[in-house]
Amino acid sequence: MYKMNLFVFFLSLSVFPQKYDLKWAEEFDGPEINTEIWNFEKGFAKNNEQQFYTSENKNARIENGMLIIEAHKEQYQKGDYTSARINTLNKKHFKYGRIEVRAKLPEGKGTWPAIWMLGRNHLTKGYPACGEVDIMEHVGKTPGEINISVHYPETDNIGTNGATQSFKLPDPEDRFYNYAIEWDKKQITYFIDDIEFFTFNVDEANKKGRKNIFRKPFYLILNLALGGKWAGEIDDAIFPTRFYVDYVRYYQLKD
């Protein structure tokens, strides 16, 4: 796994390319989460995670123009922790363009915040056939290490292939960063604060007899998971802990 030290990398300057027009934005400036855009997922999740997702205001709300996803240590529906996971399935889909999310991450062992996407056909085709694009993942046991991935199915639609990168980022728990991808039919390129650090060649996901899954629409997911096979042991002293999202913006290429 390749690691990039952005303490040095961020010394370089980058200007956001003026080739895009803003087509849609969620600024989280309303009184509550807009359910015409966002779905609340409820219940337990995969990967042996320990949180129970709810739609309770204490777990997901808008404050001061930001989305706050807040995890708690509490007994709820046979679970020991609560948190939230929201998505745009069947309400807002994306195919190509630039997707940008400004966020500040929680800290503490056991936290697992993510900004990611699944194919719109997730419910009909299942996983991994729908494909996955992870714009940002972070686990609290490795502070400052940001992870990104793309996942796609093997020919049998059971096995999973993909590409993953990780890199060091200064203090993502103490400040906001812009996590973004620029996506077209040829590639998915990853950025932090408009600085490019990784590109995935979409043709790598080609399979005979099947349309490339990265040339189909996807929906967006924002969540804060706890524990599980990657985040590991949870430090109960960290709660409540918060994942802040300032905005989500979607750009398309100018005509």
Q: Check residue 128 and give left, alpha or beta (phi > 0: left; psi -120 to 50: alpha).
A: alpha
User: Quick count: other Cβ atoms within 10 Å of Cβ 49?
Assistant: 23
- The single residue of 26, 70, 132, 182 carrying the catalytic annotation is 132
233 catalytic per annotation: no
Residue carrying structure tokens 């990784």: 198
- The single residue of 26, 100, 107, 137 carrying the catalytic annotation is 137
Instruction: Estimate to the nearest angstrom the gap between the alpha carbon of 36 and the chain centroid.
Output: 20
Buried b (16+ CB within 10 A) or exposed e, 194-223: eeebbebebeebeeeeeeebbbeebbbbbb
Strands 51-53 and 79-83: parallel
Using CA atoms, how far apart are residues 52 and 38, in angstroms rounded to an integer?
A: 18
Using CA atoms, how far apart are residues 117 and 164, in angstroms rounded to an integer?
A: 15
Count Cα neighbours of 180 within 13 Å in the Cβ-side half-sphere. Answer: 23
Q: Residue 45 corresponds to which amino acid?
A: A
- Integer angstrom CA distances of residue 241 from 37, 81, 152, 160, 200: 25, 11, 32, 32, 33
154 catalytic per annotation: no
- Point out the residues that are catalytic: 132, 137
